[in-house]
Amino acid sequence: MDLKEQHILISGGNGMLATDLKRELEKENCKITSVDIDELDICNEKGVHGKLAALKPDILINCAAYTAVDKCETESIAYEINGTALKYLAEASANNKIKLIHFSTDYIFSGEFKNPIPEDWTPTPINKYGEGKLKGEQNILNTDGLDFLILRVQWLYGKNGKNFIDTMLKLSKEKTELNVVSDQIGRPTSTPYLAQLIIASLRADLKGIYHLGPSDYCSWYDLAAHVLKDTKCKVKPIPSSAYPTPAKRPLYSVLGLDKINIALKGNPLLEKTWKELADEYLRLND
Ligand X SMILES: NC(=O)c1ccc[n+]([C@@H]2O[C@H](COP(=O)([O-])OP(=O)(O)OC[C@H]3O[C@@H](n4cnc5c(N)ncnc54)[C@H](OP(=O)(O)O)[C@@H]3O)[C@@H](O)[C@H]2O)c1
Question: Which residues are at the interface with ligand X (CB under 6 A)?
Answer: 11-12, 14-17, 36-37, 40-43, 63-67, 81, 103, 105, 133, 153-156, 161
Backbone φ and ψ for 54, nearest 5 degrees, come out as -75, -45
Concerning whether 129 is annotated as a catalytic residue, the answer is: yes
> Residue 145, Cα to own-chain centre: how many angstroms?
25
By C-beta, is 215 or 231 nearer to ligand X? Answer: 215
In angstroms, give the least distance from the CB of 35 to ligand X. 8
Active-site pick, 88, 129, 193, 217: 129
CA distance 282 to 280: 5
- What residues are paired with 37 via a beta bridge? none
- What residues are paired with 185 via a beta bridge? 219, 252
Rama region for 208: left / alpha / beta (φ>0; ψ in -120 to 50; rest): left
In angstroms, give the least distance from the CB of 260 to ligand X. 15
Backbone φ and ψ for 156, nearest 5 degrees, come out as -80, 145
Residue among 85, 2, 83 nearest 43 (CA): 85
180 touches 224 (CB < 8 A): yes
Active site residues: 129
